[in-house]
Amino acid sequence: MNVKNLDSLKYKRGLYTYLDLLIIEALGKYGPRNLNKIAKSLKIPESTVRYRIKKMIEKGLLFLSTSVYHTNIGLKKNLVIVDINPVFYEYMPKFLRSLGYWSYVRHVHGDHEGYYTLYIAPAKNVNEVRRFVRGMKKLDLIYNYNIYYSTCLYGVKPSTKWYDLKSNRWEFEWDTLKDSIENADTELPFNLKDPDGYPILADYMDIVILKELELDPTITYNELAEKLNTTPQNIYYHYHKHILKNNLIEGFEISFRKFNPNRSLVIYFITRFLSYDYFAKTANVFRELPIVHSMGKIIGSNGLFYVVYLPVEEVPRLFNTMNELVELGFIKDYEYRYAHYKDYAARQTLAYKKFKNGEWEFSFEEYMDELYQHYEEALRKIRINS
């Protein structure tokens, strides 16, 4: 979207003004820690940029977070999808969050009612994460489960690529995907490639700074210093000499509510490919689509995990396109779960309190004890209500 006739862009069109859309797109280009650059690129005061961002966040239209490159602090992403025993439906979030390294929990639908949970746990403890999930199955809390190990999730930058200014609406160009994939490059960004290892390149101050940046990527050095009881100079040193130098940030999560949430779906895909080339080509095309929120490579395979957000009326066209890509041999197969906007969802920052003496603590027995406590509590309530 070109910056022209800026005064006309200040008038509201739907949920956003055109100026809001330009700011959101610039956030993707420059990042939320470069609001001065955004203001200069749009030729407006920085105070206006800050004001519009604040208003969109307050209205629930915009969400900002820093995407930590967990690989370089020794953590690995475990994508866990479970089919739940409906008897324990209302207690499931507590069960899943008993393992202290949970990052995101979402109620999803499919062949069975289920939950999608992202555990960002020490790479050396992935077997214990699996044991925890298996323990839930032994208690008959869940029927089945799948665990996928993902690279760090690539946050797709916000784009008005499919937005038509003249009609003030999103135009979904499904017919262009086939040719786009055929002609796409196979070179991927670093966070969509299998990592060589999981080094810990951070100290405790780095970790707590990252935690605060997850909560608010626009926070200033002075604000960080006040929160962490240190000096702005110390914050500056750790941010530039440790965090940036050691590549501890992979980017920023910039989510905005493009569509009416009451008539939209969030769909979680696992897609497998017959060859690396088609995997890479498809990933490169999908990471430019405004309907894709984030994605990650399934480690050790030509598999792609990605999250799609779109209006319900476009869902049939999405699946028609996916099936066509299967028929053409671009995609081997895919599976999915979906969620409504109002379905249960929770998230938390990285588990900074578990980082001690340069290592991550993983208290498996403690997590299992908490799970059993929630299980016994749930059984008592179920018996009372039956």
Q: How confident is the model at residue 6 (pLDDT cuts 50, 70, 90)?
A: very low
d(CA 280, CA 278): 5
**Higher local confidence (pLDDT), 269 or 153:** 269
pLDDT for 14 equals 53
Q: For 296, what's the count of Cα atoms within 13 Å in the CB-facing half-sphere?
A: 22
Write down the mean pLDDT value for the chain: 92
Cβ atoms of residues 162 and 170 within 8 Å: yes
d(CA 78, CA 147): 6
**Higher local confidence (pLDDT), 153 or 184:** 184
Question: Helices in 9-143 by DSSP H: which ranges?
Answer: 18-30, 35-42, 46-58, 92-96, 126-138
Q: How confident is the model at residue 11 (pLDDT cuts 50, 70, 90)?
A: very low
- Report the number of distinct structural domains present in the chain: 3
| Beta pairing, strands 142-150 & 114-122 | unpaired
Looking at the domain assignment, is residue 304 inside a domain? yes
Cβ atoms of residues 256 and 63 within 8 Å: yes
Indicate the range of 151-155, 194-198, 202-206, 264-268 predicted with least confidence. Answer: 151-155
208 & 350 share domain: no
pLDDT for 160 equals 76
Among 192, 219, 245, residue at a domain's last position:
245
Q: How confident is the model at residue 8 (pLDDT cuts 50, 70, 90)?
A: very low
pLDDT for 13 equals 47
Where does residue 141 rank: exposed (0-12), middle (13-18), buried (19+ CB within 10 A)? buried
As a whole number of Å, the end-to-end CA separation of the chain is 59
Q: Is the pLDDT of residue 4 over 50?
A: no
168 & 302 share domain: yes
238 & 289 share domain: no
218 & 193 share domain: no
Looking at the domain assignment, is residue 145 inside a domain? yes
pLDDT for 15 equals 62
172 & 211 share domain: no
Among 245, 278, 308, residue at a domain's last position:
245
d(CA 10, CA 214): 30
CA distances from 268 to 110, 210, 305, 386 (A): 10, 26, 7, 35
Q: Is the pLDDT of residue 2 over 70?
A: no
37 & 154 share domain: no
Among 187, 218, 245, residue at a domain's last position:
245
Q: 93-108, pLDDT tens digit by residue?
A: 999 999 999 999 999 9
When pLDDT is averaged across residues 185-189 and rounded to a whole number, the result is: 95
CATH code (residue 171): 3.30.70.3460
108 & 168 share domain: yes
Q: Is the pLDDT of residue 10 over 70?
A: no
Where does residue 192 rank: exposed (0-12), middle (13-18), buried (19+ CB within 10 A)? buried
The amino acid sitting at 340 is H
Q: Spell out the residues 6+ positions from residue 233 whose beta carbon is closer than 8 angstroms to its own.
A: none
Nearest-CA neighbor of 138 among 105, 108, 95? Answer: 95
d(CA 126, CA 74): 12
Q: Give the helix/strand (H/E) hosting 237.
A: helix 232-237
Q: How confident is the model at residue 152 (pLDDT cuts 50, 70, 90)?
A: confident
131 & 218 share domain: no
Looking at the domain assignment, is residue 1 inside a domain? no
Cβ atoms of residues 106 and 86 within 8 Å: no
CA distances from 17 to 52, 65, 158, 163, 257 (A): 10, 22, 15, 13, 13
The amino acid sitting at 315 is V
For residue 64, what are the β-bridge partners? 254
d(CA 289, CA 299): 23
**Crossing angle for the helix pair 46-58 and 35-42, to the nearest 10 degrees:** 110
CATH code (residue 55): 1.10.10
Q: 301-354, pLDDT tens digit by residue?
A: 999 999 999 999 999 999 999 999 999 999 999 999 999 988 889 999 999 999
d(CA 44, CA 47): 8
132 & 259 share domain: yes
| Beta pairing, strands 345-347 & 102-108 | antiparallel
Looking at the domain assignment, is residue 158 inside a domain? yes
Looking at the domain assignment, is residue 55 inside a domain? yes
Cβ atoms of residues 152 and 250 within 8 Å: yes
Looking at the domain assignment, is residue 88 inside a domain? yes
pLDDT for 157 equals 85
Looking at the domain assignment, is residue 319 inside a domain? yes
Q: 34-53, pLDDT tens digit by residue?
A: 999 999 999 999 999 999 99
Looking at the domain assignment, is residue 380 inside a domain? yes
209 & 103 share domain: no
CA distances from 176 to 162, 193, 236, 293 (A): 11, 26, 45, 19
d(CA 172, CA 162): 6
318 & 369 share domain: yes
For tokens 């916000």, the residue is: 158
Domain extent, residue 36, equals: 6-60
Q: Spell out the residues 6+ positions from residue 9 whose beta carbon is closer than 8 angstroms to its own.
A: 17, 18, 19, 22
Q: What is the pTM of this model?
A: 0.91
Q: 48-86, pLDDT tens digit by residue?
A: 999 999 999 998 889 999 999 999 999 999 999 999 999
Nearest-CA neighbor of 204 among 356, 361, 363, 362? Answer: 356
142 & 274 share domain: yes
d(CA 177, CA 322): 10
